[in-house]
Structure 1
Amino acid sequence: MSPHAAASRQTSDETQPLDADVPASQQEASRMGGSEEQSPPSCASLPSFPPHSPSLSSSPLCQHSPPALENLLDLFTPPPVERLDWSMAHDAGVIVECLRADTLDNEISGNKAWKLRLPLARALSEGCGIISCGGGWSNHLHALAAAGTRLGIATHGLVRGHPEAPLTPTLADARANGMQLSFISRAEYKQRDQEDFAARHGDGLWVPEGGGSIDGVAGLAPLAEALVAPLAGSPAPQLVLLACGSGTTLAGVLSTLGERDGLRVVGVPTMNHGDQLYHRVRRLLAESGGSEQQTPEWGLWLGAQAGGFAKAPAWLIDFIQRFEAETGLEIEPVYTAKLFAALAHHLANGLIAPGTRVRVLHTGGLQGRRGYPALNLA
């Protein structure tokens, strides 16, 4: 079913919890930095941009003054960090903190603000619009449309699906924020990495699906620093966890932080074939001027996809409801629920040493909960 072919996503009992069939030793398919280098294939990307922007105040975004700019700049202040009161963490003797990037804005949500900040700056500087793509529940398109309307930047979303289908709430929001929507077939959508893909559909600055570009990698620098900043009077985290879709956020964190003793960064793929994400992250690091030899130790926890991207079997919905009731932290099925479910599995199986301080990135995307009826019952 096309992601926008219905106004809600469906849950399923087809898939099993993380620890149902796969041994724990196989579910942590970690790859460390410093492995043998491969020559990554080149892929279509934006023109070269500095891998690390020194600060937002020196970027073109601050050299223009649309009416909503001051409010938009507030998005790039460090998000708050909260320690979770979670029985699973207590029982394992592990400290779990959460970087609450979900709290900064209802529309330009979580990590999306940072992945978009340099493309937005460039669009303002060049006086052009932005064209991008995504599915019917895309957090990326939702955030891009909101940022565009606040800054006076025209936005165009290429949506995988059929124009006669009802708009999802996500796409309705995007259209209300002025985004032009064009619906394209699945076959055509598969060509989105081809160099002429965007040009076939109109003019504008091309931003790949999910903000997955070297600009997206570079824009994440402030968020990466906040991920490892210690709370007052406490040590820095030893383990950083984040959910992965395109791999851009993981690449941005690794590229920014560089080599750091005592720190491990782990990405949790949320779709099938997550093992391929390792090669995409390596490619993004190479294209943005980074090197695996200049990153923290890092790896991937496989097995958390719960049947595939945006799938939400009954056990995952149940996990969300129990987790939220205990911790008071709202999460969503596509990214953050699978991230915390993976963490819960590792805690329950003693795979994280007692005393470890874990920092989890909440990437927002709560608007997507509207696609899961079981989470919206009164």
Structure 2
Amino acid sequence: MKNVKLLVKFELIIATAIAIATLAGKSNLVSLCFYTSFFVMMVLVLKLSRYRSQCKTVAVVTIIFAFGSVVISAFSCGELPPLSNMIFFLVFSALLMYLYLLQIIDIDYALFNWIMKWGIVFSSCFPIAYYIFNIRTNQAGYLSMNYSNSNLLGMWILQATLFAFLNLFWQKGLIKKGICIILCITNIKLLLLSGTRNALLALVVGGVIILLHLYRKCKYSKGLLFGVAVLPILFLIMYLSAFSVLSENKFFLQFAMEGKGIDSRYEMWTATLYNLKGKLLTGSYCSLAGNVHNSHLVILASYGVIVLILTIIFLYKVMRNVNNQCDSFFQKMCLAAFFVTIFMGIGEGALFSGAVGLYIPSCIYLLLCRYNPEHG
């Protein structure tokens, strides 16, 4: 298991390299790191292949059904999807296996402490790039810092913000806590400059969940876990059903930003669902795979309703298994950080549509959840 822990550390180092290379505008290095992360993931899967669990079964079945949908889509379109388009399927498969692996990898104090220290380094990348190296590129008036768009930057900064917050509660000593406070403030400022409303909303909702459980010793309820698993698709249904009211309500109009109106997702979502008519069972990978700005709609459009249901079941099982091991408040904070990542999917493809390795730092919270720092 020692080699497995080294591979986990290597994956996180790769994620940091992806962030730094993107900030530096080194696209070739980003691609190299991205594909290296897939190789490391394959090695992890092979090393831990002997473990058996219900979650692994659901993950493998989901991947098989997803691949079947890709094949069916290829036959219906009369051509194979280009290799560049297969990246979405690879990311989806890697994410499911990564979530499964994070439940079975042993974590001790040494690994826990290393990840937390790594979190400080990762959280420092964006403020250092902005304030010291003056990387301040913009797109449509919003900070993008050499990322392909401001929303993608916002999703990465959100993860940096979450690690800064977790370290604020974990680190001891005034100097270390002071550094964490500075990182929290600067990353939130950059998040605001990116104009990524989904990330900001997800952060607020996660904070509310933490506050509601501040003095509760019990674990998160199964109802909450299921709600988190279905929230992105539930939000989409509610949004489309109430769009006419939302677009005229003064309260909701306050959330409109320059170039980002309340209707910014409406046309894409309705067009995607229209193109899915007659293809709900298997989706249409050849024509609809990619970021349709809702994590669960990405799955539905690419692979169909069966894979979406299986993915929701898998997410619920993963969170339930990890939640059963949460005995301390800090562990619940780590799980809430993962909730925030899922919440981000209400308006972004997030984890399921590429996002250039975002799944690596976004899911590591599940491993942190399984170590109780109060027990040493």
Name whichever structure is richer in helix by fraction: 2
Normalising by structure 1, we get a TM-score of 0.28
Name whichever structure is richer in strand by fraction: 1
Normalising by structure 2, we get a TM-score of 0.28
